[in-house]
A and B are shown apart, each in its own frame.
Chain A
Amino acid sequence: MAILVDSETRLLVQGLGRDGSFQASRTLAYGTNMVAAVHPGRNGQKFENNVPFFSQVADAVDQTGANTGIIFVPAPFAMDAIIEQVDAGLELVVCITEGVPVIDMVKVMAYIKDKPTRLIGSNCPGVLSPGYKAKVGIIPSNIVKPGNVGVVSRSGTLTYEAIAQLVQHGMGQSTCVGIGGDPVHGTTFTDVLELFEADKETEAIVLIGEIGGTREQLAADYIKKHINKPVVAAIAGQSAPAGKRMGHAGAIITGKAAMASEKIKTLAEAGVHIAESPALIGAKMKEVLG
């Protein structure tokens, strides 16, 4: 069945500026079931002569039965867009926007805590299930291949790198999930691991972490207790110095636990197969699956 996005996905797009429109066109061209576009004032028009525009998310959901939302709106308005989509009752909301203030994400997470919506991001490449031509995000569809490896990552382009390595070694993906590089984000490694473990189409999992925070350690703990499928992990930033932000707002070594070496150690102790170099993710998975 893959996870998060599949043939049941009915996608609503919000934030159709230059980059948003470009990505939405690609999403549509790939074959994703896009049912609504939201842009105040364009009510009645159609995106790419195909997808109806609405001025409000709630109205779009009422009229189209959209169940999944994607957000491309600029950072100052991202919190508002997430809350609008959550209030409209979407099951899954993916926020691609980069540079959302941390305190905004803190408030969003507190707001959605007891609501049924699942949030992915902010600052993430989104989700793609190749077997169902379902893409909710910006992962290039020409690099993926249907298959049985689940990919979960904090990064964008390093996720593409991992996917390319898997394909190079003859392995396709069930679903690729970029959870984002911000210190406060919706869906976590642990959430995605739980979904992959329950998914019949996923046989093995690639986890790509990086310096900063302790989410990889929480993932290690979860893997030890609940995951029976093989997991290959790579952690970026082994050569990064302490105290300097490496691009991602969350990628900063603030203490011993935030270091790559500590994360690798904890994951290895939990039985995870470690790709010693980010160049060896595909090779390691090939070795594990035989």
Chain B
Amino acid sequence: MNIHEYQAKEIFEKFGVPTPNSGVASTAEEAIEIADRIGGRVVVKAQVHAGGRGKAGGVKLVESSKQAGQLTEELIGTHLVTNQTGPTGVPIEKVMIAETLDIKDELYLSIVIDGDLGAPVVMASSEGGMDIEEVAATTPEKIFRVIADPLIGLSPYHARDLAIALEVPSESIRATTKLIIDLYKVFIENDCSLVEVNPLVVTKDNAIVALDAKINLEDDALFRHPELANLIDPNQLDPLEQRAYKSDLAYVKLSGGRVGCMVNGAGLAMATMDITKNAGADPANFLDIGGSANQERIEEAFKIIVDDTDVEIVLVNLFAGIARSDVVAAGIVAAAAETAAKMPLVVSMRGTNAKEGIEILTDSDLDITVVTDLAGAADVLQQKLLELERSN
């Protein structure tokens, strides 16, 4: 789960990580008040769940509180389109007004769990303010990593090693070490999947400050942190993803696809997207209905797929182990009756109660083509896509 920069910054502060003086505004008046309190030049940062804000015009320096108010007014209520968002962008509902610092050096710091190593890894780079993947590809010698012991945690000497590798001024080594240890605590105690500071800055008077704050929370651990689960901002999600989130469905909207995919199981869902692509059309979504979905959730899943205006045809692929094909079929028929969409369905159903499921579908007045396996689904899909193109 993503959270906003200002929310991540609040968590940083709770753990003693130095951050710039700032405030959050959703109106020009609030922005002016915060900028006056800070005084002088300030930076105005759009609060959205997307990287690439700077290049997209979502982060700007202004010289006065009046300008901060004007810029806030311009930004709020618009959508920011960055290289990481879709073409419609993400809504700006809040901005952060923050003090500017006299910066001597920009560094990078992040913490993730490396699945292959099975341990938390702290990564630092002397090249702050840049795309870290780019740094890793072009100048890998400028990236330093330490692996934390899963049971002991990050040893202070590990943090010190990083501070020294980053070549911070001698008088800042102690503060940098403490900051890295505190960020590690942020990561572990909040069950994060990512903590990232880009840039981490050294100021002219050798203070170490987290100029940016990014936290991704691990979805599977939110049950331990109800207060963090409340930080979700559903408006930052695609509207269809927002509905899926409410119904607890694993759904991802994919841009530009025409084939809606309804599948049980994540691996099979990806495989179904792949055969769609092989058949000559892009999948419109990833959707795993899971093993224990009831009819209500199946209905909502189907509605989400057909409410996607990009979708022209739906591919249903079910290999029911825990799931029941008849329940899925009944859900599809009920949902289709409530929507105006009358698009063709290609259906493969195997496993638990598959025969009953297929009967329910063929007895309905839906435009159904039943196939017996994945290869058959690919063939029929290709044929149906050709028919659609001809009729267009």
B288 near A247: Cβ-Cβ < 8 Å = yes
Q: Looking at the complex, which of A4-12, A28-36, A205-213, A223-231 is the stretch in contact with chain B?
A: A205-213
Q: Looking at the complex, which of B3-11, B111-119, B333-341 is the stretch in contact with chain A?
A: B111-119
Query: A283 — which chain B residues lie within 8 A by C-beta?
Result: 375
Bound Cα distance A106, B118 (Å): 5
Within 8 A of A (CB), among B270-290: 270-271, 273-278, 282-283, 286, 288
Residue of A nearest to B136 (CB): A255
Bound Cα distance A228, B277 (Å): 33
Bound Cα distance A109, B118 (Å): 7
Bound Cα distance A218, B291 (Å): 30
Q: Count of chain A residues with Cβ under 8 Å from any Cβ of B?
A: 68
A237 near B265: Cβ-Cβ < 8 Å = no
Report if B350 contacts A (CB, 8 A).
yes
A255 near B133: Cβ-Cβ < 8 Å = yes
Q: How far is the CB of B273 from chain A (nearest CB, A)?
A: 4
A236 near B274: Cβ-Cβ < 8 Å = yes
A159 near B267: Cβ-Cβ < 8 Å = yes
Report if A246 contacts B (CB, 8 A).
yes
Query: A22 — which chain B residues lie within 8 A by C-beta?
Result: 322
Report if A215 contacts B (CB, 8 A).
yes
Report if A56 contacts B (CB, 8 A).
no
B224 near A101: Cβ-Cβ < 8 Å = yes
Query: A138 — which chain B residues lie within 8 A by C-beta?
Result: 321-322
Binary per-residue interface labels of chain B (234-276) against chain A in the complex, 1 for a CB within 8 Å, 0 otherwise: 0000000000000000101011000000011111111101111
A239 near B266: Cβ-Cβ < 8 Å = no
Report if B319 contacts A (CB, 8 A).
yes
Report if A192 contacts B (CB, 8 A).
no
Report if A289 contacts B (CB, 8 A).
no
Report if A15 contacts B (CB, 8 A).
no
Q: Looking at the complex, which of A38-46, A149-157, A266-274 is the stretch in contact with chain B?
A: A149-157
A246 near B286: Cβ-Cβ < 8 Å = yes
Query: A60 — which chain B residues lie within 8 A by C-beta?
Result: none
Q: How far is the CB of A37 from chain B (nearest CB, A)?
A: 20
Bound Cα distance A276, B188 (Å): 41
Residue of A nearest to B352 (CB): A140
Report if B374 contacts A (CB, 8 A).
yes
Query: A103 — which chain B residues lie within 8 A by C-beta?
Result: 113, 120, 188, 191, 218, 221
Query: B378 — which chain A residues lie within 8 A by C-beta?
Result: 277, 279
A277 near B274: Cβ-Cβ < 8 Å = yes
Q: Looking at the complex, which of A62-70, A83-91, A160-168 is the stretch in contact with chain B?
A: A160-168
Bound Cα distance A111, B188 (Å): 17
Which of A161, A237, A247 has most chain B Cβ within 10 Å?
A: A247
A109 near B150: Cβ-Cβ < 8 Å = yes
Report if A240 contacts B (CB, 8 A).
yes
Within 8 A of A (CB), among B124-166: 133, 136, 149-151
- A211 interface neighbour in B151, B270, B321, Cβ under 8 Å: B270
Bound Cα distance A143, B292 (Å): 20
Q: How far is the CB of B339 from chain A (nearest CB, A)?
A: 24
Residue of B nearest to A138 (CB): B321
Query: B115 — which chain A residues lie within 8 A by C-beta?
Result: 102, 182-184, 212-213, 250
Residue of A nearest to B318 (CB): A157
Query: A99 — which chain B residues lie within 8 A by C-beta?
Result: 220
Report if B209 contacts A (CB, 8 A).
no
B267 near A158: Cβ-Cβ < 8 Å = yes
A244 near B292: Cβ-Cβ < 8 Å = no
Q: How far is the CB of B277 from chain A (nearest CB, A)?
A: 4
Known: A102-B218, A109-B150, A279-B275. A139 touches B321 (CB 8 A): yes
Known: A164-B373, A208-B267. A244 touches B252 (CB 8 A): yes
A19 near B191: Cβ-Cβ < 8 Å = no
A160 near B319: Cβ-Cβ < 8 Å = yes
Report if B44 contacts A (CB, 8 A).
no
Report if A58 contacts B (CB, 8 A).
no
Binary per-residue interface labels of chain A (98-142) against chain B in the complex, 1 for a CB within 8 Å, 0 otherwise: 011111011101110000000000000100000000000011100
Binary per-residue interface labels of chain B (290-306) against chain A in the complex, 1 for a CB within 8 Å, 0 otherwise: 01100000000000000
- B351 interface neighbour in A19, A76, A140, Cβ under 8 Å: A140
B292 near A158: Cβ-Cβ < 8 Å = no
Bound Cα distance A236, B266 (Å): 9
Residue of A nearest to B253 (CB): A244
- A158 interface neighbour in B113, B116, B149, B265, Cβ under 8 Å: B265
A165 near B373: Cβ-Cβ < 8 Å = yes
Query: A243 — which chain B residues lie within 8 A by C-beta?
Result: 84
A157 near B133: Cβ-Cβ < 8 Å = no
A277 near B278: Cβ-Cβ < 8 Å = yes
Q: How far is the CB of A142 from chain B (nearest CB, A)?
A: 8
Within 8 A of A (CB), among B306-362: 319, 321-322, 350-352
Q: Which residues of B are at the interface with A, using a C-beta cutoff of 8 A?
A: 84, 113, 115-116, 118-120, 133, 136, 149-151, 188, 191, 193, 218-221, 223-224, 250, 252, 254-255, 263-271, 273-278, 282-283, 286, 288, 291-292, 319, 321-322, 350-352, 373-375, 377-378
A-B contact pairs, 9 of them (CB 8 A): A102-B221, A106-B120, A183-B115, A237-B274, A246-B286, A250-B115, A277-B375, A277-B378, A283-B375
4 additional A-B residue pairs with CB within 8 Å, beyond A158-B270, A279-B378: A102-B115, A157-B321, A246-B269, A246-B286
